[in-house]
Structure 1
Amino acid sequence: MNFEFSIPSLPETPQCSPNQLIQLAKNLPDATISIPSVDKVLQAIEQGKADLVSNLDWIYCIHAKPQWDRQNIDQFYKTSAAIWKVAISNSWLQHQLLWRLALYYGDRQEHILAQSLVESFDVFANSDLTSQFLPVKIIRALRTTQAGRELAKISCEKRVNRTGLLNNIREYLPVWIPLFTDFIEEITPYFTTISSPNYQQVNWLLVCLDEMSDIQQIKAVNYLLTNVSNNIATNHSLLVDWLRKNYRNGENWYKLSDPARQKLRDWIGGINYGDFQKLVNLILNRLDLQNFESNRLCSRRDFWANYSNRFERLRILLPKTSQIAIGYQVQDDVDLLEDDGSDSTEICIFDFGEWFVVEFFRGRGSETRLFPKNSRNEQILFGESTLSVKRIRCLGGDKHDHVFIWQFFCRQWLANKGVNPNPGTEPYTNPTANKLQQRENRLEGWKREIEYLEREARAYV
């Protein structure tokens, strides 16, 4: 079978003439296309007309400067210094240069900027108008061998954490470069170089620690505890309180190294013993005590100094008369002791980890009591707002005297409970037979007195 196809007819191609376009072109004014060049920019600078250089010309100049330098070896530094001088009063240009300089140092993008512009940066950085400019300080830090440490120093001076610092410079510098992320690990090493940090610097450290990831923070705290001097802990309870809250209990405690854990124990104990010592000294200075009472308090203060690293918590209970005399000189964990007719005495309650130690300062009895650390005792001794001498004596517990040469026997008594003095504490010399006899004679009277006071307390409660 044969098929025949017919070819469709197409419309004729229109005959167009460009006459109108040509005529339009003839009527246009003459235009000269300006091609950017480094020489054009440098000429404008030399003529004092840098403010007439367009942004496009500046971009081209910065981009083409490396090649221009290779062709003009004798002029490359002088011309780059001239460009930096213009940047002092040209915020747009300084942004372009500083951004690239940060990439050069911080991201090793050495092709991003002519070497002559890198080397002449100090012309800009040393100007009185720009030397204190934060991005300038940042770039100065980036070009050092310890860039992370220097960035941490700047962060400390500005009292901002890493996020705060980056927020202050993100308009001027590329904040994604690795050094801006990594310098957070230099926060604690830098802090430990400060010989006597003030409150603001300690607070800065804590803000930075709070910003860190768990892994970064554990590493930072380990470094802090094993490298910073003890006097910092003594002078800054804020730091110790933060460490106690975040690391003394819970799983973080076990993530610390053994030396770090021991240091934290020492710090916490030192702070709390310091409060105890301060209280004793205030009582000695503010209250009208008899000599035997003063001597008794001094001996307590000196004895417990040997256990300073065991003081995990401290609660102070004062009778009304002592509170009035001492005023607000001791503020932390101080409560009013309820008057129950007992002899006037101050009481300190120590948390020694597995044991609570209750120390009666004055009056009849004037004993030390030891209670196992359980939820009931903790609730009463550290939780109840109102306590009295008789209420505490009614709790019972093991008790120890403060009769003649009591220190020797009290240390043994505590050691039998697993409460040992600080490492390196000198042992007491063994008492002579004569001293032992004197103690025994006085001890009988103390025992009778304590039995009477406990009966009185039970009857009252």
Structure 2
Amino acid sequence: MNFQFSLPSLPEPPKCIPNQLIQLTSNLPEATISIPSVDKVLAAIEQGKADQVSQLDWIYCIHAKAQWDKQNTDRSQKTSAAIWKVAISNSWLQHQLLWRLALYSHHQQEQVLAKSLAESFDIFANSNLVNHLLPVQIVRALCSQKPGRELAKIADEQRVNQTELVNIIRQDLPVWIPSFSQFIEHITPYFVKIISPNQQQVSWLLSCLNEMSDGQQIKAVDHLLTRVSNDIGKNHSFLVDWLRNNYRNGEHWYKVSEPARERLREWIGGINYGDFQRLVDVILSRIALESFESNRLRSRRAFWANYSNRFERLRILLPSTSQIAIGSQIQGDVDLLEDDGSDPTEVCIFDFGDLFVVEFFRGKGSETRLFPNNSQTQQILFGESRLSVKRIRCLGGDKHDHVYIWQNFCTIWLSDNGISPNRNTPPSRNPTATRLREREYQLERWKGEIKSLEREARLYCDANKDILY
């Protein structure tokens, strides 16, 4: 079937003429549209009228400069230099150019900035009026051959870590470009090149290490330990403390290389031996000793210097008389040694990892005792506050004398128990038969003395119901 529909008839639209709009526009003054151009800006600069260039004209000029340079190759460098000179006294233009140059340092694309402007940057950056500005210094670093290292240097000078540096300049520069996130990997390589870093620089390093990811930090610490001077560990004990707390006893210990672990052992040992050495020096200078006692302390100091790299921890126990005489001359883990009637003596407890060594400085016996490092002995020797000479002797342990030529035999005794001297320690000379006979004579007397002292210690501990096993 065919259906036919007729279109409805519509009224014709009214013929309206916008007379009022025509009248309004006819009364407006003639206007000309100014299209920005690079030539216009350059002409203003040459005429000394750069302050009259609008921001819109500057933006167009910066954007179009690369194309303009292709048509004016002989003037490209000179005109770019002129633009940078204007920027010295125009902070808005500075911001525009530095932002784009930071991007250019990463992309190397002329859509961001004309190559001639990038190459003329030094004319601006060398000016005394702006070279001290942080954004200028950072852009110079970004444009250098080693941007990571140069950014690390700036962070050191400003005493800021990566996060703090980014927060300071995020309004001035595009902080999302990779250079800002990657320069943290250059912190430690930069630090190890510093000759005699001061305390502030070491604190800055620790701030940077603390904000790193686990992977970044482990890599940085390994680099630090295997490349930095030994003097750093000796002069900055708080750096060694940080490393000990975060790496020596933690899960990261086996994530750094064996050379790094060995260096950390040396640093920790060096710090602890230094405390032991200072204690001996102060005792010798502040306490009136018999000559044989002074000689005995000097020989102890010299002997344990051969084990300085092995000291994990050190605890110092002083009798009240020594504590009064020494005062605050000794720092670290220093406690009062209880008076139990024994001869006055200072006591040092060395942690050698698997073993604890207790060294009696003076008095009868004056021995070295060796204890296994287990939870019980650790609690007693490094946790118990009420220790005395007799209480320590009640613990038993293996013991060694300090009679004639004791050093030769003590070295063997320690080695047999797994405590070796520092690398490159010269071997001991073999004693003559005459010296051996003299030692045997003195050793027999010492053994009898030790038996008597241990018997007194057991009676004391029994009487005080405080036997420590």
Q: Which of the five TM-score ranges fits, normalised by the shorter chain?
A: over 0.9
Deviation at 1:402, TM superposition (A): 0.5
Change (3 A) 1:7 1:73: closer
Residue 290 of structure 1: aligned partner:
290
User: 1 CA distance for matches of 2:299 and 2:11?
Assistant: 120
Residue 34 of structure 1: aligned partner:
34
Q: How does 1:367-386 map to 2 (within 5 A)?
A: 367-386=367-386
Q: Is the 8 A contact 2:314 2:333 kept in 1?
A: yes
Residue 440 of structure 2: aligned partner:
440
Residue 303 of structure 2: aligned partner:
303
Q: Give % identity.
A: 73
Residue 130 of structure 2: aligned partner:
130
User: 1 CA distance for matches of 2:412 and 2:121?
Assistant: 70
Change (3 A) 1:121 1:302: same
Q: TM-score, normalised by structure 1?
A: 0.96
Change (3 A) 1:11 1:382: farther
Residue 249 of structure 2: aligned partner:
249
Residue 456 of structure 2: aligned partner:
456
Residue 99 of structure 1: aligned partner:
99
Once the two structures are overlaid, the 10-residue window that deviates more, 451-460 or 98-107, is 451-460
Deviation at 1:10, TM superposition (A): 3.1
Residue 178 of structure 2: aligned partner:
178
User: 2 CA distance for matches of 1:28 and 1:363?
Assistant: 112
User: 2 CA distance for matches of 1:75 and 1:4?
Assistant: 77
Q: Is the 8 A contact 1:100 1:112 kept in 2?
A: yes
Residue type at the aligned position of 2:96: Q
Residue 234 of structure 1: aligned partner:
234
**Deviation by residue 1:392-431 (Cα, 9 ceiling, x = unmatched):** 1111111111011111111111112111111222221222
Q: Is the 8 A contact 2:275 2:331 kept in 1?
A: no
Residue 89 of structure 2: aligned partner:
89
> Helix, strand or coil: the match of 2:270?
helix
Residue 118 (1) aligns with residue 114 (2): no
User: 2 CA distance for matches of 1:36 and 1:398?
Assistant: 92
Residue 53 of structure 2: aligned partner:
53
Q: Is the 8 A contact 1:107 1:177 kept in 2?
A: no
Q: Is the 8 A contact 2:161 2:207 kept in 1?
A: yes
Q: How does 1:43-442 map to 2 (within 5 A)?
A: 43-442=43-442
User: 2 CA distance for matches of 1:397 and 1:9?
Assistant: 120
User: 2 CA distance for matches of 1:82 and 1:396?
Assistant: 86
Residue type at the aligned position of 2:90: N
Deviation at 1:178, TM superposition (A): 1.4
User: 1 CA distance for matches of 2:106 and 2:348?
Assistant: 56
**Deviation by residue 1:127-159 (Cα, 9 ceiling, x = unmatched):** 111011111111222222222111111111111
**Deviation by residue 1:422-454 (Cα, 9 ceiling, x = unmatched):** 122222122222212211111122122222222
Residue 467 of structure 2: aligned partner:
none
Residue type at the aligned position of 2:423: P
User: 2 CA distance for matches of 1:422 and 1:355?
Assistant: 16
Change (3 A) 1:250 1:43: same
User: 1 CA distance for matches of 2:318 and 2:14?
Assistant: 111
> Helix, strand or coil: the match of 2:412?
helix
Residue type at the aligned position of 2:177: I
Q: Is the 8 A contact 2:273 2:311 kept in 1?
A: yes
Residue type at the aligned position of 1:232: I
Q: Is the 8 A contact 1:107 1:178 kept in 2?
A: no
Once the two structures are overlaid, the 10-residue window that deviates more, 147-156 or 102-111, is 102-111
User: 1 CA distance for matches of 2:53 and 2:434?
Assistant: 102
> Helix, strand or coil: the match of 1:456?
helix
Deviation at 1:2, TM superposition (A): 6.5
User: 2 CA distance for matches of 1:12 and 1:394?
Assistant: 122
> Helix, strand or coil: the match of 1:315?
strand
> Helix, strand or coil: the match of 1:359?
strand
Q: Is the 8 A contact 1:355 1:370 kept in 2?
A: yes
Deviation at 1:4, TM superposition (A): 5.4
Residue type at the aligned position of 2:347: I
**Alignment gaps of 5+ in structure 1:** none
Q: Is the 8 A contact 2:66 2:110 kept in 1?
A: no
> Helix, strand or coil: the match of 1:434?
helix
User: 2 CA distance for matches of 1:340 and 1:414?
Assistant: 29
Once the two structures are overlaid, the 10-residue window that deviates more, 440-449 or 268-277, is 440-449
> Helix, strand or coil: the match of 1:251?
coil
Q: How well do the aligned residues superpose, as a CA RMSD in angstroms? A: 1.6
**Deviation by residue 1:238-265 (Cα, 9 ceiling, x = unmatched):** 1111111111123211111111111111
Q: Is the 8 A contact 2:371 2:398 kept in 1?
A: yes
Once the two structures are overlaid, the 10-residue window that deviates more, 118-127 or 309-318, is 118-127
**Deviation by residue 1:84-134 (Cα, 9 ceiling, x = unmatched):** 122112111100000111111133334321222122212211111101111
Q: Is the 8 A contact 2:345 2:362 kept in 1?
A: yes
**Deviation by residue 1:43-68 (Cα, 9 ceiling, x = unmatched):** 22233322222111100011111222
Change (3 A) 1:343 1:11: farther
Residue type at the aligned position of 2:169: I
**Deviation by residue 1:15-55 (Cα, 9 ceiling, x = unmatched):** 22232321121122222212111122222223332222211
Q: Is the 8 A contact 2:63 2:111 kept in 1?
A: no
User: 1 CA distance for matches of 2:221 and 2:274?
Assistant: 23
Number of matched pairs: 461
> Helix, strand or coil: the match of 2:337?
strand
Once the two structures are overlaid, the 10-residue window that deviates more, 63-72 or 217-226, is 63-72
> Helix, strand or coil: the match of 1:112?
coil
Change (3 A) 1:435 1:148: same
**Alignment gaps of 5+ in structure 2:** 462-469
User: 1 CA distance for matches of 2:209 and 2:109?
Assistant: 31
